[in-house]
A and B are shown apart, each in its own frame.
Chain A
Amino acid sequence: MDSRYEVEFPVRGDDFLAAGEASNQIKETLVMLGVPSAISRRASVITYEAEMNLVIHAGGGILRAIITPERLTIVATDLGPGIPDLALAMKEGFSTASDRVREMGFGAGMGLPNIKRNADVLEIDTEVGRGTTLTATVFFGRQDAREG
């Protein structure tokens, strides 16, 4: 593949019908580039959970995937409300999602923990009232340790 490949998708807030389209397109891009399926599945969990967070919590944002021969970097950027207590948000089972979101099968408090579990490196830059940028990196050489 070329040394650097980047795709970017706008994600609309509260649009549950379209939610997941960006993640699916990123997945198709990874498959097209020949990224191993174990890696693309980890990437799918990260992008899909991040995209759902943009839809559910942030009023929308931008989902980007940057692919180089060594790594995949997923960046989810929003100008939403920010995360007041990041340590709490990282805990399994903690969620601020509405009942409507829970009825759709989301908001179980597993989103950020799922992202963390599938990323080799995870950085979250957040400020209340300013927004959140989540950057998750997956290294292509390390898929074996996370399989199964």
Chain B
Amino acid sequence: MNLRQIAACIGAEILHGEPLLEKVEIERAYASDLMSDVLAFASPGTLLLTGLTNVQIIRTAQMMDIPAVVFVRGKRPQEEAVNLARSVGMPLLVSSKSMYETCGLLYAAGLSPCVIPHREA
């Protein structure tokens, strides 16, 4: 799915990156409010869904080659986060739905999850 289709699927507002929506192809998604979990489990090209709004979300996405971020529950990213995303050309979407519903819609539309490796207890 490209970002335009993803935005339509979840009814998201495009905060930044409108011209890039058709160009960014997304194969899988990862949803978390823990940045270290994103660093541990998100594979390159993954769409990140989060309820956090600070600049470190964009930094984390940058470090992991995550092409775009969806902010859930209608939360809007902080100004520093938007500025950084603009400077690196990273599209930002805002979903007014909950994390659960946003993820559910994307999963039902065929977007794959990231693979979580088996972990020893």
Contact = CB atoms under 8 A, between A and B. Distances in A.
Interface residues of A, number: 24
Nearest to B56: A104
Classify chain B's interface size: 20 to 34
A34 B115 CA distance: 27
Given A20-B63, A37-B44, A44-B63, A105 B39 contact: no
B40 A106 contact: no
B5 interface: no
Given A20-B63, A24-B63, A110-B34, A49 B39 contact: yes
**Interface SS of chain B:** helix
A48 B39 contact: yes
A37 B64 CA distance: 10
Contact of A105 (B34, B62, B63): B34
A35 to B, nearest CB: 13
Nearest to A95: B36
B55 A48 contact: no
27 contacts: A16-B54, A17-B80, A20-B59, A20-B63, A23-B59, A24-B62, A24-B63, A27-B63, A37-B65, A41-B63, A41-B65, A45-B40, A45-B63, A49-B36, A104-B35, A104-B54, A105-B34, A105-B36, A105-B50, A105-B56, A105-B60, A108-B36, A108-B37, A110-B34, A110-B40, A114-B40, A148-B43
Given A17-B80, A24-B63, A105-B50, 4 more contacts: A24-B62, A37-B44, A45-B63, A48-B39
